[in-house]
Structure 1
């Protein structure tokens, strides 16, 4: 009986103990969840900002830097971005001079902008050299590129808030710039709106032609590819009056997601504030309007994504601190992310029947209904969890007291020995023959070994992968034979053995992979030493082989597997091949993968379009300034449905050689169009078509083809102008001279296209046998401005002195036309007069009398 009672008490004690432990555990979980929800919902967690002290050497003297803000303080992001920079710099004893461009009211190239540049130049001259310059947003970056050499020679530059990735990447190639580019927030906001409106079948994007607007559209175009089946309509505010903009917006259907990307100006050049544009567009639109960047929420916009400008300003300041401490901008990689957040207006969402339950996690919501379920959840749920925690904690204390009051006497329990059985025997796995994992030529690991290694836990220790490729190895084999070429491979591997690395693998042909357990950044000693080793010629027996190599570097990014790193290096090595030449080093980033995927898709589209000759040919009028009449047209090729812009698919076509076929199709269609106009008794004007350098490298019969098409359609040769680029003259000079002489002798006019985009000097260009020199838009934007047009005037005077006409491309403003007239330019081409037109509209086009 006593034994039974003792056993019962022991069981009861164990039950009390288990319940008490359970209650305490539940109390802890409820308390932690409640406190976490309060912190998450009300933002009590602070962001650590102690960044400057660890970066600045205490011996570094106090420095002065210049902060150039694209917009004035009335723009929502400007004060926050500025304060982020100042916060870091003040802790670092660095003085910051802040200047504001006010790009909305003083756009690039305007009189107000030129006056601002002049005033800043005087200020810089009085101050003296700055230790560094920080540029905020796209307009400030454009300003710096145009004025760095004259106003800030040899001064390092850090930029942030840049929308256009390609522009940012180009800026870093200067060697004196580095910084941060904003990415992915457009696509993230598009995903968020699609969840809010799952029935939507199309997007409408309101855009403009400001630098920021161009960058935002590029991001929108890129993100759109993730929305299969969704169509898009663009409304360009820069080409419409405000009334036309309202009418276009009012016509959107209920199944459309409307994005206000940018609408800062109208067709007359009038500038509008964001608040004005938001009120105007949301008032006219029958659908909710969203934005991809901050601003407008609370004024009618339903929601927007935003990048934390203060945090980005701090990070840009950290980069500048690195520069002040002696790190060259070229050694600092372009930063490609930002701190993303969302904000929505519940009142606007409710007006359109949209629920806040579908918003991204962590979204801020304004104009809440404080008696709504969402609002109550912010307070009620954490409070309930804390109340439950208190309840279970008190209950556990009470159980503890009960257990103590009923504590049983100690009970002796006999212990019985337990025999633990031996684990079952596992036979050893047979050893795999090691030669399977060895390269027969070099004796090092092969790709089969790397594939096995990639699946092992040791692969997690690899932080960087470098792929090395010997350029034109097939030519070396052809010249020296297989035995000597394999000797070259063995010698190269022996040299790379001297590197501190985790492994060395020979891939196919003349490619190698090296794994490193530390990152391999730009300018690292690993890359420098590897380049030095691979630059030295190799002597095998009596043969001395000089060879080039290219390298691709992939540093492990968050979430990357070893297989991802191998694929990344393959993407980067292909990029290095596109650059051509030897001794090039390319670092992988995600944009390469996207570019490669786009290139594959474009190649497939081009293959179909070439097979079916299914391109759209537009004709942009070229205007004779003296006669104010059409002097000719440029034939411009487009893909049907504008799936990819010309700059993108033409580049791919040039890389894969399809440009040769495209040139033929454009030439044929242009000549046939002239024949059609001739039969209809329309006025004929010369048509300019592009002539790629690839025709020379392929030794094709384009000249014969062109002349036969002209003869078959009975069109005189002087109605065709062939446009060549400066790169044309880097080919075989005898072949170039022969081709050009034959074209000119048969009456075809030759024009030099894109002058100013390359590196040729005026005298080099003027020595080639061309009748026209076409000034590139980049050159126009830089030099065709008041106070900076001396180079432009010299070029025009030199061209005219040698009997060549000057065609100015990309003219979009009236004041540019006036400067062209003052400088006696012959022909202009650009949106000021006309965009590219269909054949029917082109032949009927006449410039207005007051143009």
Structure 2
């Protein structure tokens, strides 16, 4: 009896413990599932709105700094009862003249709503506020942040109603840690564009040249390159390079890229370590870097604004020049490169770091333990255990089904474009690489909607997406039955793989596509017509699928260049052109390293005395068969023209010194200055050092600058022209009359000599029209400028130009470009 009662008690205890154990296991499991599958934001009790402020943001919500700035402002302002309205200045779409329209719009907003203070995000907003301060914001406290121009921040802080935070740049710190991680890599490459941030980036980059004297510095300006050219240059970077990826969201065609798109291009193309000293790009192939903590700075800015609104004087808050930074590196890439983690700061954030056993399974271990106890008790109490087991299996099955459903959803997001419900770029690229072989016949097409940005601006993103959805639906109609693969390649770009077919320019497939694209698209009661540029590449049994994509993209850009609304198929001529450019680049690199350039000098003749008055220096390559018309454009596109500029300048100054030492009479020599040399910030110092080194008076060196560069009126160009003038170097305007009709600008540009282009001589120096040339010469003399006439090839041209009062004649009538020893002894026959 005692034994039976004991067993009953044990059974009862087992039942109780089983239930208790199961409950505990379920609680742990629920907590684990909730923390793993649901990320609920903490709900805060709203506070009363006490203040209303205005936030002027320089760009659009798509700009990479926006999310971090908004997060910081919300954390610091909302709990204090401060509400803000936002005006997006969208500065990338407006020049200074357009700000008058923005000013009127802001003025209307200020008239309808009263704001106690103003927040200013980034440089353009601060410039706008300073320009219209007295008109729009008089006596209104302003707090700025994210400012990349230090002088702008300092000047703004002098205003008694302004204070804020300078956007500290951590390029120096990033370069420092990069050189420690890769001591063997001696080439530093910066990738940026011509935006305000990009210009600040490259200025600071070249300033580091003094600190890193043993390193080679390369400047890649994405705004001067097409996407294809950029990819090529990134793929061609030397193996000892480190790439510093900065502000570069626009290209030569005016396209603007998101941080995701541009980062994807950079990390895929560049087979070198990529660093970044700005937010954005983590978990996307960037090795790492140090950047300003934008969110922390905005929290600080919001706190300052709250104190000002609560009565503290704005003068008690001086300009803050140093704000917190964030150091972040990719753990997996550190491992890939075999780098020493001890070289990183103690506060570094390592992402993509694999979790250890406790990190990975610690949250579920209590659940597993309790389940083991439960199963042990089930064995003791079989009937109850069976029921518990059945319930438990059902719960696990539900969890499994949920996980499968979630996995399918995540797979869809990873492989498809959600807006258009077609493959995304990564998926189509992987499919093409994994599926197609050298034996397969197929065509790759890239379709880009012409002027799609204008559709976004005029109709809005929602309607623009609807247009893309309509086009995709129509293309699917002919593609599904032929087993086409369609993907979204970019914002308004589609990639189509057509199996078992090599398309031609006039095949039915191409005609059908253009018929779909060009057909009016219904928009309610209206219709809209669009066009597209198509690039295609056909299988040849040799080229890889990835290369076909690049070929098609290059052909698409060629279609754009040919006037849009058409198709270009990648052919041998395009391939030959690309290979020729590669060959020229290789020869240029050899020439840079092996003294591969020399100079010719074309005499310039005084029209009155027929004596040599000067020379134009013209660069040539020692490599046979390579002419300036071939290597100069390649150097321009590759960002190497500054190197040629320095080489030619040094050759000319050394030649002047050689002539002087030989007792020859010296005359001024002009060298050409390319617009891309504006990015060579040390060029003027380089020239000054050479003149001092060889003891050449500055007036013997002249700088020839094209007409267009004078008219850009950029601050960088104006500064360089001023420095040339201060050195005593004369400026010549080359190619006058080739692109501009107005002569009014000649009254204010800092030019001493005008060179009339040969095309005007050929066109107007004829009977009945030559008074135009005569009038131009007289006008230049009235403006106290000398006149050089280029391209004179006939005696009668010289005689007539001399009668018109031309100062100097240059052309084949007197001499072609000749070597230095012939040029110094040249006499007019």
TM over 0.5: no
Tell me which interval the TM-score lies in, with the shorter structure as reference length. Answer: 0.3 to 0.5
What is the TM-score of this pair, normalised by structure 2?
A: 0.40
